[in-house]
Structure 1
Amino acid sequence: MKKLFFFFIVLLCNSASANSKDQLGSWIDSAERILRAQTSASVLSMAINKAEYQRDFTLLVLTDDRSEQQKVMVRMLGPALWRGNVTLKVDDRISFFEPRNKRTTVMSSSMLASSWMGSHFSNDDLMRETDLATHYAYQLTKSWQQDNRDYHLVELTPLPSAPVVWGKVMYRLYLEDGRVFPEQVTYYRRNDDAQPERTLTYSDVKLMDGFKVPTVMEMRISDKPDEYTRMHYQKIKFNSDLAASKFTEQAFL
């Protein structure tokens, strides 16, 4: 009888642990999709501030997560020198289109960590090739309440076979009105690093197309504290019936 009782307690503990991990994964997935929903069409500005240069871009971003074949398209609307440049992701294929010479280049996996258009965001950041909810394991490290919000700090470590760059990610999110909001994500090159390599913050929550969402994303590099890249959402439309033709290389022209 005692053995049966002990087995039942172990089973309950294992089940609770699995449910907790499922909950953390669901939170991370929801936070990552808050600016995408099933589909999204956004116009945003990108300001790059580096010691060598300052650049300002206007971007059109389309996303479609309605199937397993995830799609992302980033088209540059300005300035004139860059207008018409397109980065497209369909499933695992990522390609670039340059309108000046009408050339399409397929990106290799080695380019995922490279800077997108000289910004502090990588190709992977914009194209969402790395899926934090899928490629990482989670551990809740801290929970607290502040400003009528339930905050949680989640530690993410890569799964053994995951094709990822970061050895550890610390994800700070909060729950409000039944929704999950990202607030800060810190990226560590190695799991045992004391200092992160970079930090992404979400801020300026506003009502956009009927949903409260963070409208500003800012990436900073730890060893260059005066530099940053800031993305500011100007317009966004959620859950439109985006045509598949929007995510084809023929749409570049």
Structure 2
Amino acid sequence: MISCISQYVSAQDAKDIVKQADNRMRGNTSQSEMIIKTMRATWTREMSLKAWMKGNDFAIILILSPVKDKGIVFLKRKKEVWNWLPTLERSIKLPPSMMSQSWMGTDFTNDDLVKESSVVEDYEHTLIGDTLFQKRSCYIIQMIPKQDAAVVWGKLIVFIDKKDLLELHCRFYDEEGELINTMNAYDITEMDGRLIPTRIEMIPSGKNNQKTEIIYKKVLFNRPIDDSFFTLDKMRSLN
């Protein structure tokens, strides 16, 4: 039995595992309401927002609060990422170099939120082992960026739950192999008919008492959203 299991696991397509885990959080489309908490040693800041996503090509994120940030919008349309600043009545196209920068002062990058890069298409995937994490048996998959891929990270190590194909842990390394961030996912709950982690924390390395949490309050999957929703005009008119 042990040898059969090991042969089955070694035959798994690592890319397919990553693709299924990615799709579980995305669906064909998703509409979500969430809270982002940024925690530091002496203060905590909370934002609420709504997000609409369609496949790998389209995303809109609208900030609802706090008041000073209300109405700020991020738009991803294929390989372009735009930011709408209502106080300036100005839209700004973000260059690829901005993808590694902090998103709104959190521990997530712009790329983490708007997903300019694709964990499925921009990396080579290797199944390197398995482990027990949060009492769940997980695949350990290493992801190295393809040579021509415009990505933020030099390497990712992810733990994906074998039973439900949930990404529960990810370590983000820079091009020199230094650990930069660690992500953990918790509070697995059924939302709109599928199990997903509803609390995701990002912890930067070497910074005590510092992390950011995303808490999903509501998610709808696979509701039709036309491509025309993801436009500069729509970005400016969401408020």
TM-score normalised per structure 2: 0.88
Measured in 2, the distance between the counterparts of 1:146 and 1:63 equals 29
Query: Is the 1:98–1:104 contact (alpha carbons within 8 Å) kept by the matching residues of 2?
Result: yes
2:181 to 194, 198, 208: 198
Write the mapping of 1:80-159 to structure 2, written as runs, cut at 5 A. 80-144=67-131, 149-159=136-146
Structure 1 residue matching 2:209: 3-state secondary structure: strand
Counterpart of 1:186? 171
Residues paired across the two proteins, number: 228
Answering whether residue 38 of structure 2 is matched by residue 38 of structure 1, we say no
Counterpart of 1:213? 196
Measured in 1, the distance between the counterparts of 2:151 and 2:160 equals 21
Structure 2 residue matching 1:180: 3-state secondary structure: coil
Tell me how far 1:148 sits from its aligned partner: 8.4
Deviation per CA, 1:147-182, whole angstroms, max 9, x where unpaired?
A: 885421111112222222322111101122xx4110
Letter in 1 for 2:190: L
Query: Is the 2:111–2:152 contact (alpha carbons within 8 Å) kept by the matching residues of 1?
Result: no
CA RMSD of aligned residues (A): 2.1
Counterpart of 2:151? 164
Deviation per CA, 1:201-228, whole angstroms, max 9, x where unpaired?
A: 1110001011111101110001113100
1:62 to 40, 52, 76: 52
Measured in 2, the distance between the counterparts of 1:218 and 1:192 equals 21
Measured in 2, the distance between the counterparts of 1:42 and 1:112 equals 22
Structure 2 residue matching 1:115: 3-state secondary structure: coil
Name stretches of at least 5 consecutive residues in structure 2 with no aligned partner: 1-6
Counterpart of 1:248? 231
Name stretches of at least 5 consecutive residues in structure 1 with no aligned partner: 1-15
Aligned identity (percent) is: 25
Measured in 2, the distance between the counterparts of 1:83 and 1:111 equals 21
**Greater C-alpha radius of gyration:** 1
